[in-house]
Amino acid sequence: MTAPSAAHGLLICVSGPSGVGKGTIIREVLRRRPGMAHSISVTTRSPRPGEQHGVDYYFSDRESFRRMLEAGEILEHDIYCDHFYGTPLKPLQQLVAAGTDVLLDITVPGSLAVMENYPDCVTLCLLPPSLTELERRLSKRGTETAEVMQKRLAKAREEVNMASCFQYVVVNDDLAETARQILAIIDAEHCRYARLAGIEETILAR
Amino acid sequence: MTAPSAAHGLLICVSGPSGVGKGTIIREVLRRRPGMAHSISVTTRSPRPGEQHGVDYYFSDRESFRRMLEAGEILEHDIYCDHFYGTPLKPLQQLVAAGTDVLLDITVPGSLAVMENYPDCVTLCLLPPSLTELERRLSKRGTETAEVMQKRLAKAREEVNMASCFQYVVVNDDLAETARQILAIIDAEHCRYARLAGIEETILAR
């Protein structure tokens, strides 16, 4: 007999300072649990060679993006290099309604917007083991000048300080351990009474 | 480098209706994670042959028990066959302060008392997959009359209906899966920001 369980999937915001390793962790979590999905952003920039609509991004023109925004179909958005990037609500709602858990790779300010528009989401802040380690990870990425690097680090420091806005904090020290902890958080959230309200009546009726 | 983590252990109330299998599940969780502990009750009844003080129970006389109650050193207690049974606070506090997670095998009313006296605890209600299955598990236990059985089942039904008082609900359908879910809940609770408050300052100072 199958145990009763929440029919709906969860939306899990995986956030944290730039450089903490959100993308790598999300790929590892999805590799360990292939039944999960990740949210695909909608963007007004043009596809690059090899990029596929609905796989890498949903590609949209500015007018359609604006209409989606006005219709409340964008959970959160940002502008980068004169292009819009946003999290579309509809594909997410479809996945969640079908019982799929969806991971969202998202900035700290983006997370705060999602919390407002989707209060049922699970919010998780990845933190580096130390500021020194974050500096090392940020500097590995590119060939920025010392000045740019200092700005990025100052921003990352601010983002670490936003940890208290999140339900969960995971220190991303070891890839396997971090993925394990995130999966534990997802499994635990599925067991929260608030997400299973009424389960006792179902059980008593059997 | 060791990731920062909550220094304190958790107190986890594992509750649910009589017959749901609390004891079996707790043994399985402890088998899988030997670093955890379970709370040992204090009782005023005499030791039975083979029972050891501090292993099976803390054995106490009524006068000492009364003094512990008055001093607020008993988290919750009950009377059964004219003897007191209670959960002593001090051994629990010592374990938790040393970073050990402690499981508490406890009735539904007992859990409610613990929530009042130890608000930081994690509360978890085990539920049977169905009332029919609970009836089967209850009847396997002994050779009660149909009348006694009906009383026990009516009480169990009331206890299932208390599920909404708990933070988490786990349907105990399969021993391994239930143990896995309880361990996920414990791991997730260790990641709650509320239990890690101030971690961001520690990280930024490194």
pLDDT in tens, A27-80: 999 999 999 999 999 999 999 999 999 999 999 999 999 999 999 999 999 998
CA distance A100 to chain B (A): 18
Q: Compute the distance between CA of residue B12 and CA of residue B185 in angstroms, rounded to an integer.
A: 10
Are A132 and A68 in the same domain? no
Are B132 and B167 in the same domain? yes
Are A174 and A143 in the same domain? yes
Q: What are phi and psi of A147, to 5 degrees?
A: -65, -45
Residue A125: pLDDT band by 50, 70, 90 thresholds? very high
For A115, the token pair is: 């919390």
* Chain B residue numbers touching A168 (CB-CB < 8 A): 188, 191-193
Over 80: is that where the pLDDT of A142 sits?
no
- pLDDT at position B4: 40
Are B85 and B46 in the same domain? yes
Percent of chain A with pLDDT over 90: 84
- pLDDT at position B176: 97
Q: Which residue has the higher pLDDT, A50 or A145?
A: A50
Residue labelled with tokens 């599925």: A190
B164/A1 touch (CB, cutoff 8 Å), yes or no: no
Query: Which sign, positive or negative, has the C-alpha torsion A22, A25, A31, A32?
Result: negative
CA distance B79 to chain A (A): 28
B131/A192 touch (CB, cutoff 8 Å), yes or no: no
- Taking alpha carbons only, the member of B29, B20, B195, B180 closest to residue B104 is B29
Three-class SS of residue B102? Answer: strand
Nearest Cβ partner for A164 among B130, B164, B197:
B197
Mean pLDDT of all residues in chain B? 92
Residue labelled with tokens 């179909």: A73
- Taking alpha carbons only, the member of A50, A111, A100, A47 closest to residue A78 is A111
Residue A138: pLDDT band by 50, 70, 90 thresholds? confident
Range(s) of the domain holding residue B16: 8-36+101-206
> Tens digits of per-residue pLDDT, B69-122?
999 999 999 998 899 999 999 999 999 999 999 999 999 999 999 999 999 999
Q: Compute the distance between CA of residue A66 and CA of residue A48 in angstroms, rounded to an integer.
A: 22
Percent of chain A with pLDDT over 70: 96
Which residues of chain B carry a pLDDT beneath 50? Answer: 1-5
Three-class SS of residue B72? Answer: coil
Are B127 and B95 in the same domain? no
At B156, which CATH number?
Answer: 3.40.50.300
The least confident of A105-114, A134-143, A156-165, B13-22 is: A134-143
Are A190 and A122 in the same domain? yes
Question: What is the value of pTM for the model shown?
Answer: 0.92
Residue A4: pLDDT band by 50, 70, 90 thresholds? very low
Are B121 and B174 in the same domain? yes
* Chain B residue numbers touching A204 (CB-CB < 8 A): 131, 157, 160-161
Domain C-terminal end among A78, A99, A120 = A99
Domain C-terminal end among B100, B125, B147 = B100
Mean pLDDT of all residues in chain A? 92
- pLDDT at position A115: 95
Domain count, chain B: 2
- pLDDT at position B145: 82
Query: Which amino acid appears at position B2 of this protein?
Result: T
Are A118 and A155 in the same domain? yes
Percent of chain B with pLDDT over 90: 84
